[in-house]
């Protein structure tokens, strides 16, 4: 488990960079390159959640130990209110597809599922920008 008390000093991931990855994943979805879209979309989602949890830890002066596990990260995102419980159900359907995509099996990826993950990643980024 990684505890972040401040944003990483090396190669910080900014909201703008995450937003760019999200836009790139949308282009990949539109062009039906679902395997690449799934991998890129997960990286955008994970970065958005990590930024949100780090920011929350800084604002509350209570650093959050951020999980290294995708399933743990999803549970933390719900527990800390970064995503809705309904979104977690979508993620639990998405993670096996993401794993399949990472191993070259694009047949199990549903574009609608990718759009759902994109939707709440976008919402998470919007909430970060409003702070």
Q: Could you tell me the CATH number of the domain that includes residue 40?
A: 1.20.120
pLDDT in tens, 47-87: 999 999 988 888 888 888 899 999 999 999 999 999 999 99
Predicted structure pTM score = 0.83
- Position 69 in a domain: yes
- Position 7 in a domain: no
pLDDT in tens, 45-55: 999 999 999 88
Number of domains in the chain: 1
| DSSP assignment letter at 81 | T
- Distances in Å between the Cα of 8 and the Cα atoms of 44, 47, 69, 89, 116 are 16, 12, 19, 29, 28
**Mean pLDDT within 27-47:** 93
- Position 30 in a domain: yes
Give the model's pLDDT for residue 106. Answer: 63
Domain that holds residue 39: 14-130
- Position 4 in a domain: no
- Position 6 in a domain: no
- Residues 6+ away with beta carbon under 8 Å from 26: 37, 118
């Amino acid at each position: 488990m990684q505890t972040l008390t401040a944003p990483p000093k090396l190669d910080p991931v900014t909201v703008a960079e995450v937003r760019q990855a999200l836009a790139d994943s949308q282009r990949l979805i539109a062009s039906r390159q679902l395997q690449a879209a799934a991998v890129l979309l997960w990286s955008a989602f994970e970065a958005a959640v990590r930024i949100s949890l780090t920011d929350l830890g800084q604002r509350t002066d209570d650093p959050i130990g951020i999980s290294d596990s995708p399933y743990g990260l999803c549970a933390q995102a719900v527990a800390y209110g970064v995503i809705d419980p309904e979104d977690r159900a979508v993620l639990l359907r998405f993670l096996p597809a993401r794993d399949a995509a990472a191993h070259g099996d694009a047949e199990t990826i549903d574009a609608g599922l990718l759009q759902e993950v994109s939707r709440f990643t976008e919402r998470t980024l919007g909430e970060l920008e409003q702070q």
